[in-house]
Amino acid sequence: MITRFFVAFAMATVGLIAEAQAHGGVSSNDGQCIMKIGPDTMNFTGYQPLKSRDQFCDDIPDVGPTIVVLDAVQPELRDMALEIRILRNVGQANDNDNLDQNTETYVAPKKYRTGTLNFEYNFANKGNFIGLVKATGDDGREYVSRFPFSVGQTAGREMTVWIVFGALGVVGFGLWLRGSFVGKKPAQPA
C-alpha cells in the first residue's frame, strides 16, 4: 500500500515538474535556446550584464537591466518584419485583452536583414510575463511565438524542486529501511 502511494507520488511529482519546465515557444536543445516561430526557428539568448556573465534561456533570474538577443536561423525570417512585445501576465484570457495596459515593453516591427534582433529592458518588478514575437511577411503571412516566463522567481522554483526530490529520497530510504527489517526474526542465542 505504501509502495503504491510512493510510486503514485513520484509520478505526480515528475509530471508537475515537467509542466513547470514547459515554456511555450522556447526550448533548450544541445545547450542552445531555440524559439519556434511558425515553421521557422530563432536562437534566443538573454543576459543580465550587471548581475552575472551567465546567459539564460527562459526565466530571467533577477530584476534589473536585461539584454535579449534573437537570431533568425532560416533566411525567410530575415525578409519578414519582426516585432516583440512583453506583456505582464495578469491572468488575461487572451493576450489582446487590455493589450496596451498590460504591455511592459514593445519593439516595433522592422526587417532585420542580418537576422539578429536585440533589445534591452530594465525589469523593475518580479513577476510573470508573456513574450510575443511576431513575424509578418510582405505577402501577409504572419507567425507568432508566445512564451511565458518569470522574472526574479527562479530561486524559489529551484528550491521547491530540491525539497520535493529530498522528500522523495527520505521516503524511499524509509521504505527501503522498513523493508530490510520487516519480517526478519531476531537471531536466537545459542
Separation CA 110–CA 168 (nearest Å): 50
Is 50 a residue whose pLDDT tops 70? yes
Task: Give CA torsion, residues 75, 72, 27, 153, to 10 deg.
Answer: -160
Q: What residues contact residue 24 under an 8 Å CB cut-off, 6+ apart?
A: 145, 146, 147, 148
Is 31 a residue whose pLDDT tops 70? no
- Residue 93 or 54, more confident: 93
pTM for the complete prediction? 0.66
Which candidate, 118, 149, 146, 148, places its Cα nearest to that of 37? 146
Which candidate, 25, 41, 100, 31, places its Cα nearest to that of 73? 41
Query: What domains can you pick out in the chain, each with its CATH number?
Result: 25-152 (2.60.40.1220)
Assign residue 183 a region: left if phi > 0, alpha if psi is -120 to 50, beta otherwise?
left
- Out of 30-34, 37-41, 67-71, 139-143, pick the least confident: 30-34
- Out of 59-63, 78-82, 106-110, pick the least confident: 59-63
DSSP secondary structure letters along 75-86: GGGGGSEEEEEE
Indicate the pLDDT class of residue 136, thresholds 50, 70 and 90: very high
